[in-house]
Structure 1
């Protein structure tokens, strides 16, 4: 996925709320939109080097979108809208080996009380056994080389896992993809210390036949692309 708008570098000053923060741009403090409601405490601290995308619009409070953060020399994407786009792009391009052979792709597909990110079908009229629900979770938290999700409690995430399990029991193929929004990560694990209920829901879903995958990304200031599969460690 290309970053098509102009980007500028800055230094993070503080977070005002879930959606807004202050960034120093060449000595001038500016309001920025933060497209990630997670805590991101290990990334968004005073002085952190960040990348802003300039999105001019009359309806926005600020033209600045905080899309990436440098952690040491590693660039991490924090935009929560990016993972869905990258996985959809990868599925359409046949880049995910485990999920190929589907011609029809629908975004934001409803199932019971949940809305999953993708519904794949071999044809538009495919039956359940030729259809696949996919939920995508973006991962920005990394501790000692292991990517972890979530970085804040998520009852919605746990519900998604239970609903994927229900879809699988009903005859659909079902999968969750944890997209690690950084490079050089080899292991992914559910963050039990942060959200035990989500970890248990994921484990239950896997036992019901839901497929669990994780991929990392190559991230640069101009592009984010899916890279290689990451080992999933469930303990």
Structure 2
């Protein structure tokens, strides 16, 4: 996925009110941009270090610029825009980068499903296979060389796990796909220390047949793409 037009650079001052971020540009100008990440963004914000942001030409937007990448002095690149995860996953599935999800005829986005009024991120269908329901999560929390999800308590994420489990029980295929948007993450675990209920539901979902996949991304100011699998540990001893 190419960034078009090219991303622009600034340095982080702070994120606040969840959806706003202040930057200072190279000429000293301060700029407020939109932060498209509803999570806590724990261990993703480094004041004084490089931010890459996009610009929209939509005249209706109050803040036309969007926080895309946090680039740290430690050498890590972090995809801040969680909305990119679905597009990255779709691109990877179409291009055959995720072999576990090959062999389907059609791909649909945002399809209503389940008993709790949900929308599945991606639905794959084929005349020869059960339907495949794919829920996509962006993983960016790095702690002690391990990636964790979620970075805050998520009742919405808990609902999605229940819905995926029900799809398996109905005879369909259900997949939870972690798109790892942090260059320092090579292993993903449920964040039991942050949301123990989510971790318990994840264990139950796996026991019922929900598949868990994690794929790493390569993130640069020019483009972002899924590049390969990442280890997933679903049960915490």
TM-score exceeds 0.5: yes
Where does residue 40 of structure 1 map in the other structure? 41
Q: Structure 1, residues 154-207: CA drift from partner, whole Å, max 9, x if none?
A: 011011001100000000001000110133532110111111111111111110
Distance in 2 between residues matched to 1:81 and 1:131, nearest whole Å: 24
Where does residue 232 of structure 1 map in the other structure? 232
C-alpha contact 2:6 2:221 (8 A) present in aligned 1? no
Where does residue 106 of structure 1 map in the other structure? 108
Distance in 2 between residues matched to 1:231 and 1:134, nearest whole Å: 18
Where does residue 10 of structure 1 map in the other structure? 10
Where does residue 182 of structure 1 map in the other structure? 182
Where does residue 61 of structure 1 map in the other structure? 62
Moved more, 4-13 or 168-177: 4-13
Where does residue 153 of structure 2 map in the other structure? 153
User: Displacement of 1:140 after TM fit?
Assistant: 1.1
Where does residue 116 of structure 1 map in the other structure? 120
Distance in 2 between residues matched to 1:97 and 1:41, nearest whole Å: 31
The count of residues paired between Structure 1 and Structure 2 equals 231
Distance in 1 between residues matched to 2:41 and 2:98, nearest whole Å: 28
Distance in 2 between residues matched to 1:58 and 1:98, nearest whole Å: 41
Distance in 1 between residues matched to 2:113 and 2:150, nearest whole Å: 23
User: Displacement of 1:57 after TM fit?
Assistant: 2.0
Moved more, 156-165 or 92-101: 92-101
Distance in 2 between residues matched to 1:168 and 1:225, nearest whole Å: 29
**Aligned: 1:93 with 2:106:** no
Residue segments in structure 2 that go unaligned for 5+ positions in a row: none
Q: Structure 1, residues 27-80: CA drift from partner, whole Å, max 9, x if none?
A: 111110001111114222421321111222211112211100013211111111
C-alpha contact 1:184 1:216 (8 A) present in aligned 2? no
Distance in 2 between residues matched to 1:63 and 1:25, nearest whole Å: 16
